[in-house]
Amino acid sequence: MGLKISEEEFRRIMESGKRVDGRAWDELRPIKIRIGVTERAEGSALFEMGKTRVLCVVRGPMECIPSHIADPERAILDVAYRMATFSTEERKSPTPSRREIELSKIIREALEPALFLEEYPRMMIKVYCLVLQADAGTRTASINAASLALAHAGIPMRDLVTSVAVGYCYGKIVVDLCSVEDELCADVPIAMMPSYRKITLLQADHRLPIDRLPEILEIGTKAIDKIYQLQKRALREMYATTTREITGGE
Ligand code: ADP
């Protein structure tokens, strides 16, 4: 998947105390957030972490379609994660892959604890995450974009959900993996409702020493706090702009 350097070279760089893209161990890639990018949907957000770019659109709460899947106790959160055909170096097939179907479920499970789904029986909330450009961390960027789009749609939430991937390679713990690191490190994506310190997603895709997990979680939580501040700032600025537009800048 587009590895640009050999494993030996990667190991040499890491053991010399650096990361392949020159970042500090705990440094996030540059983050850009835009809220309200489509006018047809109730909520939308664009979230960029380095070269990874995800557009998330939220529809609803709306009538559940097809009606036979409606739950009389709560709303259905319907999440679709897709990678655009142009999001990877080689054209990605438009047919949803097993990975996309699995990630849709994982993103849904990461978001559900933040929502009051029981307040909307028989309804549906649709969350569509489209990866426009992929360079690792697309599930974490999707979760970050989705919680912003849900807030933009005015859907009541206990907290935003914020996510980052933490990696473990050659004894080092690194934050927000780029794609080379994603291929060569153990990858631990974490999502959290930061105000409650409640973890809503925790995965590990390779073996890693279990005694390093508390440190991985601590470093991940610090990174999540930084992203959370940016998410809240983006929402505040969006509403401040709207207010200025309504009041003519006063
Ligand atoms: P995440 O994007 O959440 O890190 P993965 O670990 O499965 O999820 O994927 C890591 C990265 O591998 C992706 O962000 C993307 O850059 C690349 N990738 C994943 N699937 C494909 C694909 N079908 N074609 C090309 N690159 C892909």
Ligand 1 probe mutation, 52, 54, 107, 138, most atoms within 8 A of CB = 138
Q: Which residue, by CA, sits nearest to atom 2 of ligand 1?
A: 138
CA of 135 relative to ligand 1 center, distance in Å? 7
| 43 and 131 Cβ atoms separated by less than 8 Å | no
CA of 238 relative to ligand 1 center, distance in Å? 30
Q: What average pLDDT does the chain have?
A: 94
Task: Kindly list the protein residues whose Cβ atom lies closer than 6 A to any atom of ligand 1.
Answer: 1, 88, 92, 99, 134-139, 179, 182, 187
Q: Is 80 exposed, middle or buried (0-12, 13-18, 19+ CB in 10 A)?
A: middle
Q: What is the pLDDT of residues 100-136, one digit of tens each?
A: 999 999 999 999 999 999 999 999 999 999 999 999 9
Q: What is the pLDDT of residues 137-166, one digit of tens each?
A: 999 999 999 999 999 999 999 999 999 999
Instruction: State yes or no: pLDDT of 248 exceeds 70.
Output: no
The C-alpha angle with vertex 57 and arms to 51 and 62, in degrees rounded to 5, equals: 165
Mean pLDDT of 229-233: 97
Q: What is the pLDDT of residues 188-203, one digit of tens each?
A: 999 999 999 999 999 9
Could you tell me the residue ranges of all domains in the chain? 7-247
Q: Which residue, by CA, sits nearest to atom 11 of ligand 1?
A: 136
CA of 172 relative to ligand 1 center, distance in Å? 22
Q: Tell me how far apart the alpha carbons of residues 13 and 176 are, in angstroms, rounded to a whole number.
A: 17
CA of 136 relative to ligand 1 center, distance in Å? 6
Ligand 1 probe mutation, 88, 166, 174, 177, most atoms within 8 A of CB = 88
Strand 123-133 relative to strand 76-83, pairing? parallel
Mean pLDDT of 215-232: 98
Q: Which residue, by CA, sits nearest to atom 12 of ligand 1?
A: 136
Q: Which fold is adopted by the domain 7-247?
A: Ribosomal Protein S5; domain 2 (3.30.230)
Which residue in 133, 142, 114 sits closest to 56, CA to CA?
A: 142
